[in-house]
Chain A
């Protein structure tokens, strides 16, 4: 036991002595949280819109006012002719345009029908669609107000409730994913690199020749990184809760338990990777770059899984982060208990055991 602690302490020294490791260990999570929490969002804001008002009457002006008041749009002040329009789009100066034909209000009053045209820069289709939707909503509102005196018969009135996130806080969707991503990258990388470092330096053989059972050698590597990852996890949680206003609605012990499980699966991954190579460089490349892409892609926090072609969706099932993401969302954001996520937990346990078994087996083979 005493010797075990000695090994553990040595490992801690390794980590804390190297400033760059610390950068990754703590800097990366903080950076990610800050970026995803504050900077990155799929919510549209300040989209530059140009209003070409050939009518200049009360209707067009009222609608223009509404658009100007909306946070989604930022009104482009310079008046442009129709010819300049294309150029402005091409240069990326405006994202969409709203064109009022002459006699807009007259048409509405006398013919009960008028037209407007929306031009959207569809090079970013999602933004285009969203902007078009928002604009249509504003116009639709105006239309409703015009007709408010008329009461329609047979009205179906939808009553809407936004669950779990009524303020539409954009971070909520990202943060569980960021947690999974960060834990995955940091944990896997540190574990695999540290084991390979010993191999490279030749000290691994010394360890194995010692009276220590191989399993303890591995444990001595795993324990510090487990602890550090948990620390990391706490750091991220604190940032999310206090800086970004992300709630923890469920049982915090359950959250910790599941996170520990996930961390162990990442550790096993790191162990597996370390068995594949003798060079620290390769271990790092595989852990960081190799793991980063699939994790971002297939966890589902950035790219919606349901939009992917079926084969990719199938692949996503073998990424532990995907299951962990669902668990975190359920426990942290929806306040669910174990009953809701027992299936996902089981899958995670299964994956972890599987990974541990293969990597330990490989380790043993290498020794023999």
Chain B
């Protein structure tokens, strides 16, 4: 125990004296947390619309006004032809084109139906389809308004309508940051735990001080604990600061118990540190460790459901995602903070994460031999 005390003292001293490491452990996460949620808004809005109005009638003006006030679109310009509008789309300046044919108002009344043309840049499939769906729905609303204006309701046969009442649970304002910030908290901690911890151990290997330790009576578990505990603590600390930022900058107050969150965090950090430890046992120098850690952590993060939901992935990818420790923490952090899930709700994830911790650490400890 006393040996451990000395090991820890040395580790902390070294960490705090490492001028290039400190910003990465403490400042970078904060910057991430402050900038990323602002940037990470997948909501489909701010759609650039180019309008080709060949009619220029009072009704088209009303239509355009209605589109503008819907809140989804930025009217980028009024082009005089489809070709011109298309050029905007080619240059990435417009996302959708609405072409209103000449004689719109006149034809609508005379023929009782009139086509309008929509062309959407579908490279971003979601934007293209949702954007055109929104535009169509504005058109449909406008259509209904016109109809009621022109025709008495009894004149056409009664329509059956199904009213849809939508309720949004857990995030009634559909605030995107509520979704992103907890996830980014996880990434923050993951970088520190997985990446930096691995580097730290390899550094000793590189410098030869590991051999010096192997020659002493320091036991294997003491050495490993001495390496992991500081980063476990730093991870906890980073997460706490992150929670504070979430609270005071984004107004996110966890609905569930903090205790549950921290319990899972402790296990998660163990798993992650085990991963870093494992990498370090297979690397001889820091460059190698960094490359390998970076490669895997990138996969973990991308597959974890942070940016794109796991449920959208094909079956094989979902299996892959279930095999990474990060996925479960992302699940849990969102469930506890946003839905108020309790220990009972997350017990499956907890057990799996525990499994990761045991396997990764166990494997790493087996690898690390004082005598070879």
A117 within 8 A of B: yes
A152 in contact with B156 given A89-B170, A162-B128 (CB within 8 Å): yes
List residues of chain B with CB within 8 A of the CB of A133: 130, 133
Partner of A330, one of B92, B118, B174, B335: B92
Shortest distance from the beta carbon of B102 to any chain A beta carbon, whole Å: 15
A170 within 8 A of B: yes
Give the contact-size bracket for chain B: 35 or more
> Roughly how many angstroms separate A31 CA and B133 CA in the complex, as a whole number?
34
A120 within 8 A of B: yes
| B206 to A, closest residue via Cβ | A281
List residues of chain B with CB within 8 A of the CB of A46: 311-312
Within 8 A of A (CB), among B279-303: 286-288, 290-292, 294-295, 298-299, 302-303
List residues of chain B with CB within 8 A of the CB of A302: 307
Q: Is the CB of A153 within 8 A of B143?
A: no
> Roughly how many angstroms separate A210 CA and B53 CA in the complex, as a whole number?
69
| B36 to A, closest residue via Cβ | A297
| B288 to A, closest residue via Cβ | A20
A38 within 8 A of B: yes
Shortest distance from the beta carbon of B191 to any chain A beta carbon, whole Å: 8
| B339 to A, closest residue via Cβ | A90
> Roughly how many angstroms separate A329 CA and B36 CA in the complex, as a whole number?
24
List residues of chain A with CB within 8 A of the CB of B191: 289
Stretch in B134-142, B242-250, B269-277, B358-366 touching the partner:
B134-142
A122 in contact with B169 given A31-B299, A154-B146, A309-B38 (CB within 8 Å): yes
List residues of chain A with CB within 8 A of the CB of B298: 28, 31-32
B372 within 8 A of A: no
Within 8 A of A (CB), among B138-166: 139-140, 142-143, 146-147, 150-151, 156-166
Q: Is the CB of A38 within 8 A of B287?
A: no
Q: Is the CB of A157 within 8 A of B113?
A: yes
Q: Is the CB of B151 within 8 A of A153?
A: yes
B16 within 8 A of A: no
Stretch in A4-12, A75-83, A138-146, A253-261 touching the partner:
A138-146
Stretch in B39-47, B215-223, B224-232 touching the partner:
B39-47
B367 within 8 A of A: no
Q: Is the CB of B114 within 8 A of A161?
A: no
List residues of chain B with CB within 8 A of the CB of A284: 287, 290
* Residue among A108, A113, A155 with most chain B CB within 10 A: A155
A168 within 8 A of B: yes
Q: Is the CB of A158 within 8 A of B118?
A: yes
Within 8 A of B (CB), among A41-91: 41-48, 86, 89-91
A47 in contact with B311 given A143-B162, A161-B117, A340-B90 (CB within 8 Å): yes
List residues of chain B with CB within 8 A of the CB of A155: 112-114, 143
Shortest distance from the beta carbon of A54 to any chain B beta carbon, whole Å: 14
> Roughly how many angstroms separate A157 CA and B100 CA in the complex, as a whole number?
11
A35 within 8 A of B: yes
* Residue among A48, A159, A304, A340 with most chain B CB within 10 A: A304
Partner of A158, one of B135, B172, B314: B135
Give the contact-size bracket for chain A: 35 or more
* Residue among B35, B115, B156 with most chain A CB within 10 A: B35
> Roughly how many angstroms separate A120 CA and B299 CA in the complex, as a whole number?
29
| B341 to A, closest residue via Cβ | A90
Q: Is the CB of B290 within 8 A of A123?
A: no
Partner of B308, one of A40, A282, A306, A340: A40
A21 in contact with B291 given A90-B339, A92-B335, A158-B115 (CB within 8 Å): yes
List residues of chain A with CB within 8 A of the CB of B314: 38-39
Q: Is the CB of B160 within 8 A of A143?
A: yes
> Roughly how many angstroms separate A169 CA and B49 CA in the complex, as a whole number?
22
Shortest distance from the beta carbon of A302 to any chain B beta carbon, whole Å: 6
> Roughly how many angstroms separate A159 CA and B119 CA in the complex, as a whole number?
8
B327 within 8 A of A: no
B84 within 8 A of A: no
> Roughly how many angstroms separate A270 CA and B164 CA in the complex, as a whole number?
56
| A312 to B, closest residue via Cβ | B39
* Residue among A163, A168, A293 with most chain B CB within 10 A: A163
Q: Is the CB of A40 within 8 A of B109?
A: no
A333 within 8 A of B: yes
Partner of B165, one of A115, A147, A312: A115
Stretch in B7-15, B175-183, B257-265 touching the partner:
B175-183
A118 in contact with B164 given A39-B303, A172-B123, A340-B90 (CB within 8 Å): yes
> Roughly how many angstroms separate A304 CA and B40 CA in the complex, as a whole number?
8
> Roughly how many angstroms separate A91 CA and B20 CA in the complex, as a whole number?
42
A15 within 8 A of B: no
List residues of chain B with CB within 8 A of the CB of A306: 46, 48
List residues of chain B with CB within 8 A of the CB of A168: 122, 125, 128-129
A165 within 8 A of B: yes
Shortest distance from the beta carbon of A181 to any chain B beta carbon, whole Å: 10
A162 in contact with B90 given A112-B158, A120-B168, A130-B130 (CB within 8 Å): no
Q: Is the CB of B40 within 8 A of A45?
A: no
A119 within 8 A of B: yes
> Which residues of A line the B interface, CB within 8 A?
20-21, 23-24, 27-28, 31-32, 35-36, 38-48, 86, 89-92, 95, 108-109, 112-130, 132-133, 135-137, 139-140, 142-143, 146-147, 149-150, 152-166, 168-170, 172-173, 193, 279-282, 284-285, 288-289, 293, 297-298, 302-304, 306-309, 312, 326, 329-330, 333-334, 336, 340-341
Please name 14 pairs of A and B residues whose Cβ atoms are closer than 8 Å in the assembled complex, sorted by A.
A24-B294, A40-B317, A44-B312, A92-B331, A112-B161, A115-B165, A116-B165, A123-B179, A124-B309, A129-B44, A136-B164, A156-B146, A160-B119, A193-B287
